[in-house]
Amino acid sequence: MIYLDNAATTKTAPQAVEAMLPYFYEQYGNPSAVYSLGSSAKKAVNQAKRTLAGAIGAKPEEIYFTSGGTEADNWALKAAAGACAGKGRHIITTKIEHHAVLHTCEYLEKSGYEITYLEVDRDGLVDIEKLRSAIRPDTILISVMFANNEIGTIEPIGEIGALARENGILFHTDAVQAFGQIHIDVEALHIDMLSASGHKMNGPKGIGFLYIRSGIKLGAFIHGGAQERNRRAGTENVPGIVGLEAAAVTAMKRMEEKAAKESRLRDYLIERIEKEIPYCRLNGHRTKRLPGNVNFSFLYAEGESILIMMDMKGICVSSGSACTSGALDPSHVLLALGLKQEEASGSLRLTLSEENSREELDYTVESLKEIISRLREMSPLYEEFLKSCGREEKED
């Protein structure tokens, strides 16, 4: 099996699993309990906060554990909207956010908020001038993702943060794909809220955190006990928290080396696909891009079919379409780049890890070549296209 879907989830790091195990068997106390079994669990939670805060240049009391990126995004947007409703009800985000942000925005729209969904350019980048002109006196929040999960484009977060700060607007970034991969400093980048998730950076699933800059008065997200400073009730997922911490420690230590390895593999894969498969397009920015992300559109081949045929060859990848109510919808991200419906539906995302080898990538390219040409052979549109090319060549 060749795993090329690391943007969907990653293999849990052995360091994370090892760190977690004692919290199932021995240190299983409830962190709220007063006896020492409880207080040692509490200590582990607090230590994880210190570590994670250190990883993004924050303070430990600014880290709030959640069940993952989706919850962190929901909390940031809904609570910021609620807290600032007195000042205004306008929020700016982008058309390429993850559904955790987009669907939360749709929910807020129904509750009387107005949302501007910024366009991005052909590479998926936010234009700072467009953002500047979208700001209004009643704008309360800007939410722009750090790096896109489909096309890997890394946004100009520092500039966006500075603009938000200049205008007294809260700035949230969904850093689920960036945390552990790219260096993040919430101070330097003027970030007020940041969402992160464990399972995207070799930590366990079902755990993440929301960074909330101190001084920002956001309401509680889950009501109940006094955990997470009364803002997110529920007994802490101690093994998850400890596993997330261990994964973050490993990621921070090896960030440069890992990124260098992955981007070498990424560039090798991009180069081979561009050279060897005709009528394809690289989606996302060529250089401002996550180290492991490769995303291509192949004309006259359908993404879901490529995916299934790749699976039959033992390769796990992901397509640019999502199944909603039984129909395959092309990705909203690819459509926002200006791709035509048929270009977007012939897309494939391959997200690498440093564990992938060149041999695996060679096998992937050979399989892809064979699959794309088989699918194109079956496509009447491709036949027509070839005929039209032949005619044009003769006419020339």
Does the active-site annotation cover 323? yes
Binding mask 130-169 for ligand PLP (x = CB under 6 A): ---------------x---x--------------------
Q: Are 150 and 349 in contact (CB under 8 A)?
A: yes
Q: Are 129 and 118 in contact (CB under 8 A)?
A: no
The rounded distance, in Å, linking the Cα atoms of 98 and 183 is: 21
Site for ligand PLP in 313-352 (CB under 6 A): none
Minimum distance from residue 178 beta carbon to ligand PLP (Å): 9
* Interface with ligand PLP, residue 98, by CB under 6 A: yes
**Relative orientation angle of helices 238-276 and 358-377, to the nearest 10 degrees:** 60
The rounded distance, in Å, linking the Cα atoms of 129 and 66 is: 34
For 316: left if phi > 0, alpha if psi spans -120 to 50, otherwise beta; the answer is beta
Query: Tokens at residue 75, please?
Result: 């909390």
Q: Applying CB under 6 A, which of residues 79, 176, 241, 339 lies at the interface with ligand PLP?
A: 176
Minimum distance from residue 299 beta carbon to ligand PLP (Å): 26
Minimum distance from residue 376 beta carbon to ligand PLP (Å): 30
Nearer to ligand PLP (CB atom), residue 208 or residue 303: 208
Q: Are 62 and 54 in contact (CB under 8 A)?
A: no
Q: Applying CB under 6 A, which of residues 5, 62, 155, 174 lies at the interface with ligand PLP?
A: 174
Residue-by-residue DSSP string for 81-114: HHHHTTT--EEEEETTS-HHHHHHHHHHHHTT-E
Nearer to ligand PLP (CB atom), residue 51 or residue 173: 173
Which one-letter amino acid corresponds to residue 129?
A: E
Which one-letter amino acid corresponds to residue 264?
A: R
Overall residue count recorded for the chain in this entry:
396
Nearer to ligand PLP (CB atom), residue 318 or residue 367: 318
* Interface with ligand PLP, residue 240, by CB under 6 A: no
From the list 19-27, 64-72, 210-218, 344-352, the region that binds ligand PLP by CB under 6 A is 64-72
From the list 11-19, 69-77, 104-112, 210-218, the region that binds ligand PLP by CB under 6 A is 69-77
Minimum distance from residue 322 beta carbon to ligand PLP (Å): 12
From the list 165, 379, 174, the residue with the least C-alpha distance to 279 is 379
Q: Applying CB under 6 A, which of residues 6, 10, 12, 70 lies at the interface with ligand PLP?
A: 70
Q: Applying CB under 6 A, which of residues 29, 31, 68, 284 lies at the interface with ligand PLP?
A: 68
Minimum distance from residue 287 beta carbon to ligand PLP (Å): 20
Q: How far is residue 386 CA from its own chain's centroid?
A: 38
From the list 278, 264, 291, the residue with the least C-alpha distance to 361 is 264
Minimum distance from residue 69 beta carbon to ligand PLP (Å): 3
Catalytic residues: 323
Q: Please report, as ranges, the residues that interact with ligand PLP according to CB under 6 A.
A: 68-70, 73, 98, 100, 145, 149, 174, 176-177, 197, 208
